[in-house]
Amino acid sequence: MFRIKICGITNVGDALHAADAGADTIGLNFYPKSPRCIDTATAATILATAPSQLARVGVVVNENVEALNQLIAELDASSTTGLHAIQLHGDEPPSYCAQVRSKYLIRARRLTDRGISAIAADLETCDKLRRLPDAVLIDSASPGQYGGTGTTVSWAGLADYRRWLRNVPLILAGGLTPENVAEAIRVVRPHGVDVASGVESSPGKKDAAKVRDFVAAARAAFAAP
Q: Catalogue the active-site residues.
A: 7, 139
Give the C-alpha separation, 80 to 60, whole Å.
Answer: 21
Q: Half-sphere exposure of residue 77, counting CA atoms within 13 Å on the CB side?
A: 8
Q: 173, 154, 158: which is closest to 214 by C-alpha? A: 173
Q: What is the 3-state secondary structure (H, E, C) of 58-127?
A: EEECCCCHHHHHHHHHHHHHHCCCCCCEEEECCCCCHHHHCCCCCCCEEEEEEECCCCHHHHHHHHHHHH
Give the C-alpha separation, 176 to 198, whole Å.
Answer: 6
Give the C-alpha separation, 85 to 192, whole Å.
Answer: 15
Give the C-alpha separation, 138 to 223, whole Å.
Answer: 22
SS3 178: coil
